[in-house]
């Protein structure tokens, strides 16, 4: 059933639905306290939480959490063109002070005046890493050559 939401910014409504769904998924996958001993010092735990990066045109949101098995999961979201958004989703391992991934899936989600209209996989199998420097996360995606610096915005 489609509902027409008059007077609302559809993009904000769409993101609200995504954030609610993500919160549900995060709660089902595990919590950030269960690191399964990835590091003795707990350094890897500093990666978990919500982060944001900005450039001249975009705001990117990065959420990192751990599953019950100690695997790290991440989702990055970014507005696309006028009626779209991009999502990068991956699982990662903590190695040598970084989160390393090689299974990244990038998806473009589109919507129209009535809301969600579809999604298309841009690629699967992308690789990259996330490092921590001076309290900020550095995301380097090898697939597209992207590099963003994220600031911590909180835990969930």
Could you report the per-residue pLDDT of 93-132, keeping only the tens digit for each? 999 999 999 999 999 999 988 888 899 999 999 999 999 9
Taking all residues of the chain, what is their mean pLDDT, rounded to a whole number?
78
Number of independent structural domains in the chain: 1
Range of the domain at 143: 10-32+60-154
Domain assignment of residue 37, yes or no: no
Lowest mean pLDDT segment, chosen from 13-17, 85-89, 141-145:
13-17
- Residues 33-59 as b/e (b if ≥16 CB within 10 A, e otherwise) read eebeebeeeeebeebbbbbebeeeeee
Domain assignment of residue 80, yes or no: yes
Look at residue 140 and tell me whether its pLDDT is greater than 90. Answer: yes
Domain assignment of residue 47, yes or no: no
* Residue appearing with tokens 């090898």: 142
* Residue appearing with tokens 């990666």: 47
Domain assignment of residue 79, yes or no: yes
Provide the β-strand partners of residue 129.
Answer: 100, 140
Q: How many residues does the chain have?
A: 156
Domain assignment of residue 86, yes or no: yes
Q: Supply the pTM of this predicted model.
A: 0.71
Domain assignment of residue 45, yes or no: no
């Amino acid at each position: 059933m489609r509902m027409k939401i008059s007077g609302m910014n559809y993009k904000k409504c769409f993101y609200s639905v995504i954030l609610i769904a993500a919160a549900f998924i995060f709660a089902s996958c595990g919590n950030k306290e269960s690191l399964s001993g990835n590091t003795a010092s707990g350094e890897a735990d500093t990666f978990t939480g919500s982060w944001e990066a900005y450039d001249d045109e975009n705001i990117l949101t990065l959420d990192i959490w751990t599953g019950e098995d100690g695997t790290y999961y991440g989702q990055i979201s970014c507005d696309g063109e006028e009626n779209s958004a991009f999502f990068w989703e991956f699982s990662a391992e903590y190695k040598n002070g970084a989160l390393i991934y090689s299974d990244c899936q990038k998806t473009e989600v589109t919507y129209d005046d009535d809301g969600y209209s579809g999604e298309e996989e841009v690629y699967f199998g992308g690789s990259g890493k996330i490092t921590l420097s001076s309290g900020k996360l550095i995301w380097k995606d090898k697939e597209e050559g992207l590099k963003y610096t994220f600031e911590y915005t909180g835990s969930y």
